[in-house]
Amino acid sequence: MTVDVLALLNAAAAEYNVPPALAIAVANQESGGNQYNSEGGVLTSPAGALGVMQLMPATAAGLGVDPTDTAQNVQGGVRYLAQLLNQFNGDQTLALAAYNWGPANVQKNGASNWPAETANYVSSILDSIGATIDGSSPAPSTGSLVALALAGALTLLLVERLTS
């Protein structure tokens, strides 16, 4: 994940009132924080999801963003995450499951009967931010603390650049 992508994630998280660590963790899980593959083309999943936030073309169109543009991809992905958090009353577990499996599937099944991929996806992201599926909060990992410190430092740097 580049400093530029991290700055975009922090700015979008602030704009859409999403915890920055959550937005960063989703981007990291989805794409390693990368917009492009090793050949320089837009990173595309086997299912057709694109870029940093791995937006499906229909989702990106619904959000009015171009998923091949890094800034728009991040803006759209974090805005979509904010919409899902709102839809599921702030429940990060359900919002993450919906980001991965689709909101209709989560509305239908709730917190049960998830595919293994979705369960692993949610668990991995929650672990990286120091949370668990059952809502308890274990002590954050060193990696989580480093990510939070880096996110805070980059936010301060971005604010400083914007106000200079």
Residue 87: the pLDDT is 97
User: Which residues does the annotation mark as catalytic?
Assistant: 30
Share the mean pLDDT of the chain: 89
Of 144 and 7, more confident: 7
3-state secondary structure of 117: helix
> What average pLDDT does range 81-96 have in this prediction?
97
Whether the pLDDT of residue 62 is over 80: the answer is yes
Please give the residue that has the higher pLDDT: either 111 or 86. Answer: 86
pTM of the model: 0.82
The residue with greater pLDDT, 67 or 146, is 67
Concatenated DSSP letters of 75-134: HHHHHHHHHHHHHTTT-HHHHHHHHHH-HHHHHHHTTSS--HHHHHHHHHHHHHTT--TT
Written out in words, the top-level CATH class of the domain with range 3-163 is mainly alpha
Q: Where are the beta strands (DSSP E) in the chain?
A: none
Spell out the domain ranges in the chain.
Answer: 3-163
pLDDT for position 132: 73
The pLDDT value recorded for residue 45 is 96
What does the pLDDT read at residue 108?
94
Average pLDDT estimate for 12-40: 97
